[in-house]
Amino acid sequence: MAFNWHQEAEKQWDERSSFWNANSKNMWDSGSRKTIIPLIKKHAKIGNSIADLGCGDGYGSYKLAQAGFEVTGLDLSEDMIELAKSRLAHDTLRFVQGDIVQLPFESESFDTIMAVNCLEWIEVPYQGITEMKRVLKPGGKLCVGVLGPTAKPRINSYRRVYGEKVICNTMMPWEFEQLALENGLKLIDGHGVFKREAEGMDVTAFPRELQQALTFMWVFIFEKE
């Protein structure tokens, strides 16, 4: 049978749902994702509609809802969505299964989009950017997290060097930044997330590209003009 990126990605993330669920709370509360929601709160108004794309088990979506936003979490994995629905109840939060390259939303539906470490899981990331722009309101904000070089060889994409089929597009932060700028998004903010050994290191004097080269993840805020 021919390799189908979409089906294989859904299958693999269904299989990883329990593992992800066991670790996501720590990531958002005190780990690599702890700075993301404060950054969104800096740029989005309380009560705004937010789409959390690639939401996984939905814990990040839940934290956004707790912060006062109207949140829709979307993930390709049905098992992830079922976990989110069963464990994360909130009046301003809903979850749907769907594909980032074919979002089940009307155009200009959301004030803000959050997409953390999910564009790398799209066969053609450009298609994901196009869909995000479509469902984002004019002037809306897009928060994207992309893994940086110090995240080590991606276990989900490394085997491509042997010619094997994989479901992860290794993409550097500067590559995503160029992709976003070439497709009509305006960069307005961002910061690096560093490994524990490098936290507190002063890199402010470095050019942004060099700062990005040292990161575990870079978090961007873009605006749809």
How far is CA 157 from each of CA 4, 53, 96, 115, 168, rounded to the nearest angstrom? 15, 21, 27, 19, 5
- For the stretch 66-79, pLDDT in tens is 999 999 999 999 99
User: Residue 153 has what pLDDT?
Assistant: 65
- Per DSSP, the residues of 146-212 read EE-GGG-S-TTTGGGGGT---S-----HHHHHHHHHHTTEEEEEEEEE--GGGTT---TTS-HHHHH
- For the stretch 119-129, pLDDT in tens is 999 999 999 99
- For the stretch 102-157, pLDDT in tens is 999 999 999 999 999 999 999 999 999 999 999 999 999 999 999 999 987 677 89
Q: What is the mean pLDDT of residues 205-221?
A: 94
Q: What is the chain's mean pLDDT, rounded?
A: 94
pLDDT tier for residue 198 given thresholds of 50, 70 and 90: confident
- Per DSSP, the residues of 25-89 read HHHHHTSTTTTHHHHHHHHS-TT-EEEEET-TTSHHHHHHHHTT-EEEEEES-HHHHHHHHHH--
> Does residue 1 have a pLDDT over 80?
no
Q: In terms of Cα–Cα distance, which of 56, 43, 74, 53 is closest to 14?
A: 56
Predicted TM-score of the model (pTM): 0.94
- For the stretch 79-92, pLDDT in tens is 999 999 988 888 99
Contacts of 147 (CB under 8 A, 6+ apart): 117, 120, 154, 216, 217
Domains in the chain, CATH or no CATH each: 5-17+34-224 (3.40.50.150)
